[in-house]
Each structure stands twice: as C-alpha cells, then as structure tokens.
A and B are shown apart, each in its own frame.
Chain A
Amino acid sequence: MTRNLPDPATDVPPDEEPTAVCAHCERPFRSVHARDLHVGEVHEAEATETERERYERVIETERDDLWLFHARTVVALGVVYSTTVILYMVVLGQFG
C-alpha cells in the first residue's frame, strides 16, 4: 500500500547535527534506528542490500521492545479494569 499523506516538514535546531539522514529523501532523524525503519518502510523499492539488512535488524529490535511494551499494557489494562470495578463496588455499596 502507498501512503496518501505528504512528507512531513522537519525542523532541526540550529545547534544540532542530525544523528542520521535518509540517503533517499534527506529527511533527518534523531536516531539511526528511526532512519533505518523509515528507509525500510518508505523506500522499500530503492533500498540497497545493506539497508535491507539494517531494516531486518531494527524490525527485530522493535519486535522485542514491543513484546515488553504489550506485556506492560496488558497488566495496565488489568489494573485499570479491576480498580474501576472495586471503585464501583465501594461507591455503590455505600448507597445500596
């Protein structure tokens, strides 16, 4: 699928040198990680062999981090749900 949205304008502070820049569209990035992801997502067709390998690697990192993040999300959802139930039981119990 292709994106329908325009490329976003970027704004690098004057005293800062971007950590990474896209070789295809010159978009600056704060991390090599984000640049490698961008190249794989947006320039899939023109990417070089090295860029493809880098993309594979950052995707792997993302997958691991995401697993941890999702585990925490599920715990947070559980806490929110049970807190809400207990809160309702307490409040409604007072009046019941």
Chain B
Amino acid sequence: MTDSPDGGWRRAVGRAVARGVARVGPWPLAVALVGTASAHSGSLGGAAASATVPTWLTVLTGGVVVGATFLFTTLLTDHDAMRSVNWSRVALPAPALARRALVRGCQLVSVALLGLVFVTGLSGTTTPTRNFALLFVWTGWWAGFTMTTYLVGNTWPAFDPFRAIAGVVRRVLDALLDGSAGTVAPDRTDGGTATVPASPAPRLPEEWGVWPAVAGLLALVYVEVVSPIGSNPRSLALVVAAYGLVTVAGAVVYGRTWFDRVDPVSRVFLTYGRVAPVQRDGDGLSLRIPGTAATEEVLPDRPGETAFVVALLWVTTYDGLVATPLWARLVEPVVGAGVPAVLVHVVVLLAGFALFLGGYRLSSRAVRERAETYVAVDEIERWFAPSLVPIAAGYHVAHFMGYFLTLAPALAAVAASPFAPPATVALVLPGWFGSVKLACVLLGHVLAVWVAHSLAFELFPGVLAAIRSQVPTVVVMVFYTMVSLWVITQPYVPPPFV
C-alpha cells in the first residue's frame, strides 16, 4: 500500500482503513441501537463475527439515527435552558504579551518547517513513506493540523507561514518606499496575530464577497485530486511554492483582505474553527462546549459566505467520492468514449457543487415556507449555514483520523532525521476503528441537528414554528448522512486516469 506510484498513495493509505469497515461492518453501532448488552462483553478485536451487517443497513441506520436525533431534540424546547448550554463558557487566561510572543514563536517554527518542506520536497528521497515533505504536508498538516482546528481551535493565523512572510515583505517594501519618498512610516502596531497591515491602496470589488475563496477551494481540491502531489514530493514542492507565491503576493497587495476573502486555506480553518471548543472572546480566549459557538454566529452578509461553507462540505464528499468503485465504473466508459479524464473531474466537481448549493437553497426556501415567516431566503441560508460545519468536520475526521494515526509514527521518525530518513512502517489499526469513523460521521450530524435546532429558536418566535422549520433541513441531512456513510464504507479504488 505504500508504493502505488500513480497519485493514489495518500488516499490509498487513508482508505486502507476504510476497507476494514466494509469487511468488518459497523457492529458496535448496530448493537448500540438494538440495545443488546453483548456489545460490551464482546472483545473489540473480535469483530469478524459481525460481518453480517450489510452495507445498506449500516447506511440506513445512519439515516435513522439522524432522523431520531431530530425527533429527540424537538422534545427539548426550553429556550432558556438551551441558551444556558450554548452560552456556557470558561475564560482561559491568555495575557496579550505571552500571546504575542507565542505567535512569533509559531511563525518562526512554521517558516522553518516550510523551508524544510521545500528542501526535502525538491531534493529528498522520492519514497513516499520516507519523504518529509509528503509526510509533513499530508499527515502532519492536512490531516493532523486540520483536525486541531475543529477539535481544539483555529490557530492557523498564528502558524500561517505565508502570512508571516507577507508581513515581513510588506514591512520591507514600506520601509523602502517610505525611505525614498521621505515620508514618515505609518504606525504599524497591531496586536496579536495581525502581522499584515490593513491595505491602503488596491481593493477587491465588494460585490465579489468571498467568492474568490470559493473558487480557490474548488481549484485546490481539483489539483489535489488530479495531480500527483499526493505521492510525488517534487510536484508537491512546486504546488506549495506556487500557492505560496500567489498568497504572499496577494497579501502584500491586498493586505488582510486577502486572508479574509481570497485565501481558501485560511477560510477552511476559519470555518472549521467555528465549531471548536476554544474560541476568541473579545480580547481573550474562552473554552466552550464543542459546536455551541456556531449557535451564536450568523455568517456575515457578504456574497459567497454561504457558498463557501457548502463548498467545504462538497469538497470533502468529492474527495471521497472519486475514490469509490462506483466512480471508477461510471468514469471508465466516459473516458473510453474520448472525453479527457481531467475534464470529467472538473465537470463533476462544478456540477456537484452546483447541486449542493441548489439543494441548500431549495431547503432554505422550504424552511421559509414551513416556518410561515417573512425572513428573507438568503438570510435563512446564512443563518443556518454554521450548522453544516459540524457535518464537514465529522466527515473530515472520519476520513483522516485513521490516516493520521497510521502514518504518525512514520512522520515522527522522518521528522527526527529529515535528511537521512529511516525506513518507516505504517501503523496497522484494529478492525473496530472502522466503526469509530462511522461514529464520527454520525456525531457530526447529531451536533449539526442541535446547532440548527438552537439557531431556529433564535430566528423564529415561539416553539412550533422553530421545530417545523427544521423538517426540510433534516430531510436533506438524513439523505446526506446516508451518502457520506456509503462513501466511507466503500473500498478504496484509485481515481482512474489521473
């Protein structure tokens, strides 16, 4: 599994775990639902006995759990009690001075790591399991770091090496320009993580909103799927360099706006951070119940804000979908008929995104009808969009937790000696781990039902309108749960022709 040369290595390892699910079946889940006590007496390793739960039943059970969660939340109608849960928080000590020092430290570390990624990517070994750049970017960063953004908190602004580099470039340019013009340099003292000053000169058109970030996210995922950056350290280093150049140049020209409205990576982490337990609270930090921060925040009124959250959900699905046997079966005749595979991938990427966005819009219209309200449709879209984030996070953790654990020992071994990497072994996860993944997907949906329920109570007066308004969303969620569970239980097949 470590040496499939054609682009599928990264997923191949991730999916090796998924294969376990299909074989083993999600028996703890099933047993928990049926309520049989033997769930706990049976040893977790002896999962072979449960090969009897067919995939369709697993998928159906997932849908039933989400539907039943909704029915259950309708019994919780005490708005003040809901708020006391959602608004509970513990302030974390975070002195400004310590925070600024910590941010500087993070930036230095991440710029050094970026340098190491370039060096090992361009000149290191091309054996994937021994190459620092590949292991660090995919295992350490895209799997591991991303998980911390929703499980702990969004620390990317502090770590982002490109933001740090752009800040330095900006300051140097300012000094040069100011020096030559003989003017006094403007005051650049901004606290905390903000190393890139607000831009004075060029501005992005306001009507674009965050659509550039939506396009950027789709483009990044497309490159990830069709190019060999998952297994070839040279092309990975080049793609990172290209992304870095664009990001630094954009940030130097447009300032902080770039990270707010264009840079897809910053926005992905910002979006995931909405459900994290550690949140920025005014000047400090606070610890919240996971997911509850999303019940207090409506997306800003800008074009593309809803579309970005929907795009995040879609790309996690797409990433899994293109590695299923069904995809291979459907694509092969199309490519056989002479259509280039890269074209098929881009068409499906865009069409699926349009489908998700259209589905979300339709369900928001239905919410407006069901709640008998005059609240505008795009307001409803933005209001409930944060409830999609736990779903995306649950799906991400299901996809990448096993992958991260499998390769974490290899990453640690190679990180200790990146220039003379030892041979590494992938950790073999036990069979029951597949059930953990299914549980993560379900947990994301259950949290989403709670967030949507809480948001509905904030939007609509009374109890019954709020409950009724949720029915269309829940129908969509049940359907989506089943689709994602199906994708997760599929055996891994490398996307053909890429």
Contacts and interface: CB of A to CB of B under 8 A. Distances in A.
Contact of B34 (A38, A62, A69, A84): A84
A87 B57 CA distance: 9
A80 B34 CA distance: 11
Contacts of A10: 373-376, 379
A73 B64 contact: no
Contacts of A9: 301, 375-376, 379
Contacts of A70: 74-75
Contacts of B463: 62, 66
Interface in A62-96: 62, 65-66, 69-70, 73-74, 76-77, 80-81, 84-85, 87-89, 91-92, 95-96
- Interface residue SS majority, chain A: helix
A80 B67 contact: yes
Nearest to A74: B75
A44 to B, nearest CB: 12
B453 to A, nearest CB: 13
A11 B374 contact: yes
B89 interface: no
A4 B87 CA distance: 10
Given A88-B30, A91-B57, A96-B52, A80 B464 contact: no
A69 B73 CA distance: 13
Given A8-B383, A80-B71, A81-B68, A34 B459 contact: no
A85 B298 CA distance: 39
B54 interface: yes
Contacts of A80: 64, 67-68, 71
A42 B75 CA distance: 23
B155 interface: no
A16 to B, nearest CB: 9
A18 B87 CA distance: 34
Given A30-B372, A62-B462, A73-B75, A92 B53 contact: yes
A8 B467 CA distance: 18
Interface in B270-312: 296-298, 301
Contacts of B459: 5, 8
A34 B465 contact: yes
Contacts of B30: 88
B74 A37 contact: no
Interface in B381-435: 383
A5 B35 contact: no
B80 to A, nearest CB: 6
B33 A8 contact: no
Nearest to B455: A5
Nearest to B57: A91
Nearest to A28: B374
Contacts of A91: 52-54, 57
A37 to B, nearest CB: 4
Interface string B348-386: 000000000000000000000000111111011001000
A1 B87 contact: yes
B83 interface: yes
Given A69-B464, A80-B64, A80-B67, A8 B376 contact: yes
B461 A77 contact: no
Interface in B156-196: none
A84 B75 contact: no
Contacts of A76: 71
Contact of A12 (B68, B374, B380, B461): B374
B473 interface: no
B60 to A, nearest CB: 8
Interface of B: 30, 33-35, 52-54, 57, 60-61, 64, 67-68, 71-72, 74-75, 77, 80, 83-84, 87, 296-298, 301, 372-377, 379-380, 383, 458-465, 467
Interface of A: 1, 3-6, 8-12, 18, 27-31, 33-35, 37-38, 41-42, 58, 62, 65-66, 69-70, 73-74, 76-77, 80-81, 84-85, 87-89, 91-92, 95-96
4 tightest A-B CB contacts, nearest first:
A11-B376, A37-B461, A38-B461, A95-B52
Given A30-B374, A96-B52, 18 more contacts: A5-B298, A5-B459, A11-B375, A27-B374, A30-B373, A31-B372, A37-B462, A66-B463, A69-B464, A73-B74, A77-B71, A77-B72, A84-B33, A84-B34, A84-B64, A88-B33, A91-B54, A92-B53
5 contacts: A8-B380, A11-B374, A34-B372, A80-B71, A91-B54
